[in-house]
A and B are shown apart, each in its own frame.
Chain A
Amino acid sequence: MSEPDPEAAATDTSAPRSYVESTIIMATVRVVSPFVFTYGLFVMFHGADSAGGGFQGGVIVATVMLMLGIAFGIDPLREWVGESALVGVVAVGVAAFLAVAVGTVALGGAFLDYSVLPIPHPSKYGIEAVELFIGVIVAGTITGLFFTIDAGREGDDE
């Protein structure tokens, strides 16, 4: 086993980002990611009738972003997503969940009492909507953790 000497290793790993462009990884991710994304949405929407739900589906959707980041570099992905878009997405998810919860009270029901919603099959679609909002919150937060941990603290990015 030939480890490089500690000093060389230190300069190696403290380089800003160790992104390695690999044709194999990029091609694989390009093929796999649409399917993983679809599967994540399936788990999110179909959680009402089979195993899964918003939390699991959201994590699976977030792994698509993780894959894209690993294959094509995290910095370009972060630029593509935009500076504050993720914070907005997560906040909108929480606000929408709260709106459903408070909305049912406003419509004369109990807190999160879906049956008063003015839609067909209110309970089923109310649950689906809430699962979707949970998925948005989870996917946004995990992608955000990914970006933020990669970037590290402001100023010590050497």
Chain B
Amino acid sequence: MNIELPLLAFVLAAALATAVLRDVLGAIIAFATYSLGVAVIWVVLQAPDVALTEAAVGAGVTTVLFLLTIAKTVRPSGERVFERLDVPALGVSVLLVGVLLATLGALPEIGSPDTAVLTSEVTTYYLDNAYSEAGVKNAVTAVLASYRGFDTLGEAVVVYSAGVGLLVVLGKEVFA
């Protein structure tokens, strides 16, 4: 059965709810739902490593950090559930989506055997040699930690910098 269409509808609805809900708490919950939907889409597209990250970071940690942030704000008063339409912002969004949709036709079909990724020499090399050279069964990990170890070192330092950056912004020396 085709599960992609209902999933896409779910993700779009969650994204829309995030954009239009007036209550920030509601928007954050809708955003967590959106992340969860996207994580399931990654699983359907057979990218479990990305799905794990999306579920843990997108649906889990960011939600808590957002909640902590809005705990310091005031909830909007009044009865309205939805935000008023911001026409210029809507125009920019529609334009951006239009540009992105225009590139969609150039992408190869999902699972198509002659995508650039599958026919590329690099991919073939990784898939053929990852186990014998790196000694690990997950080719993603082999690329991440061995073939592209330098990039991953950079990524780890980026995470570290995020922590340092927050400390600098808040004028602190320790996480407390």
B48 touches A123 (CB 8 A): no
Q: Is A47 an interface residue (CB 8 A)?
A: yes
A94 touches B69 (CB 8 A): no
- Number of A-B residue pairs with CB-CB distance less than 8 Å in the complex they form: 170
With A48-B136, A130-B149, A150-B68 known as contacts, the answer to whether A9 contacts B77 (CB < 8 A) is yes
Q: Is A148 an interface residue (CB 8 A)?
A: yes
Q: How far is the CA of A123 from the CA of B60 in the complex (A)?
A: 32
B160 touches A141 (CB 8 A): yes
A149 touches B159 (CB 8 A): no
Tally of chain B residues near chain A (CB < 8 A): 53
CB neighbors of B among A87-110 (8 A) = 87, 90-91, 93-94, 97-98, 101
CB neighbors of A among B40-66 (8 A) = 48-49, 51-53, 56-57, 60-61, 64-65
B interface, by DSSP: helix, strand, loop or mixed? helix
Q: How far is the CA of A18 from the CA of B74 in the complex (A)?
A: 13
Residues of chain B within 8 A (CB-CB) of A6 are 74, 77
CB neighbors of A among B66-82 (8 A) = 68-69, 71-75, 77-79
Contact of B68 among A101, A114, A146 (CB under 8 A): A146
A154 touches B171 (CB 8 A): yes
B64 touches A124 (CB 8 A): no
Residues of chain A within 8 A (CB-CB) of B127 are none
Q: How far is the CA of A131 from the CA of B157 in the complex (A)?
A: 14
CB nearest to B52 among chain A residues: A56
CB nearest to A59 among chain B residues: B56
Contact of A147 among B56, B136, B176 (CB under 8 A): B176
A interface, by DSSP: helix, strand, loop or mixed? helix
A86 touches B174 (CB 8 A): yes
Q: Is B116 an interface residue (CB 8 A)?
A: no
Further contacts, 18 of them, CB under 8 A, given A59-B53, A137-B160: A3-B78, A13-B72, A49-B137, A50-B137, A51-B51, A52-B49, A55-B155, A56-B52, A78-B176, A84-B173, A94-B157, A127-B134, A130-B145, A131-B141, A143-B175, A144-B167, A148-B172, A152-B72
List 9 A-B pairs, minimum CB-CB distance, nearest first: A144-B175, A51-B48, A112-B149, A124-B135, A48-B136, A123-B135, A141-B163, A59-B56, A49-B137
22 residue pairs bridging A and B, Cβ less than 8 Å apart: A1-B79, A13-B72, A51-B51, A53-B138, A54-B145, A56-B49, A56-B53, A66-B64, A101-B149, A111-B150, A114-B146, A123-B135, A123-B146, A127-B142, A127-B145, A130-B145, A137-B159, A137-B160, A141-B159, A145-B65, A148-B176, A153-B170
